[in-house]
Amino acid sequence: MAVSILIDEEGRSWVANDPAVARRLGYRDVRIDVAQFAVSERGFIHIRSIEDGVRVTVQPGTFSRVALAGALQVLNDITPPRVLLVSRIGPETQAELFTSVFAFIERAEQLAAGPPIEIKVPHYAVRRHLRNLATPPFAMVRPIIDLWKDRRGEFDDEVLQAIEAQSLMHRMILVRKAAQGSALITEHFGSGIMIMRPCESLLIVGRDFYQHHRDRDYGTWVADAYAETLWRRHPRLESVRATVRTETAASLKVRYDRLIVPWRAGDSDLFATAVSIQREVPVLAS
């Protein structure tokens, strides 16, 4: 479905050709397109359909971060495979192409008005629709969902072999929940997950995931996401930002996407696989 939407400074969505928008803007010059006027003169964001995606037009330094949040909500509903960001400064335009909504948002944050928003919580996750798995950034984990569907969530060694064939074991955490009890036993902790050193990740195998993490708050928050996924029996895709305390007492800022998939082994144990996709190199927090 073709769309042409304007996002105002309060994050509200308007149909671009709605006469109410023109009246609200005080628009009277028919020589200028309403959407163009809204972007250049009122700090709106314009989202419209193009072939294989959407075009998002902004004027750097004029649109608010609240407007950007409204744009994110619209884009999450549309889940476009590509986002073309067009920045207009006077007569000049610059175009940048993104294959991920969140990659687009991270770039658009740099163009918004005002200082960056400081995140007051140590970790948070934004739930994303599984339709996003059809986009290029998630190509590596798409076979896991296909396998989950084909096997109707049944877990065995063949599942691990298939995941290993995709070269994902180093980015995967595997936990097991016994039929009786609430503990999540760590069965595998990938060596490529940088919040722990390889020697630490080996030592935690066989232990309760809730108990082993050096940053107890972060570990509990992650374990709760696994437990909820097992309870709901449905895969969960999220984009995560977090500050994590490491064994050196330093704090590491991380950004990643994670796909948590629930599995069952007959009528007994439940398993959850969590594969993380690193979106930027972790940095030490100041």
Q: Which domains does the chain have, with CATH numbers?
A: 4-109 (no CATH), 123-284 (3.30.450.20)
Q: Tell me: the pLDDT tens digits for 250-267?
A: 677 788 889 999 999 877
For 192-227, write each residue's pLDDT tens digit. 887 776 667 777 888 888 876 677 888 889 999 999
Q: What is the pTM of this model?
A: 0.67
| pLDDT digit string, tens, across residues 28-64 | 665 568 888 889 888 999 999 998 899 999 999 999 9
Question: Which band of pLDDT confidence, cut at 50, 70 and 90, is reported for residue 286?
Answer: very low
CA quadruple 184, 190, 196, 197: dihedral positive or negative?
Answer: positive
Q: Give residue 120's pLDDT band: very low, low, confident or very high (50, 70, 90).
A: low
Mean pLDDT of 105-118: 78
Determine contact, residues 257/239, Cβ cutoff 8 Å: yes
Average pLDDT over residues 129-144: 84
Question: At 280, is the pLDDT very low, low, confident or very high (cuts 50, 70, 90)?
Answer: low
Q: Which of 30-34, 130-134, 158-162, 214-218 has the lowest mean pLDDT?
A: 30-34
Percent of the chain topping pLDDT 90: 36
Give the chain's end-to-end CA distance (angstroms, integer): 45
pLDDT at residue number 32 = 63
Measure the CA–CA gap between 85 and 70, rounded to whole angstroms: 16
Phi, psi of 198 (to 5 degrees): -55, -40
For residues 234-262, average pLDDT: 83
pLDDT on residue 104: 86
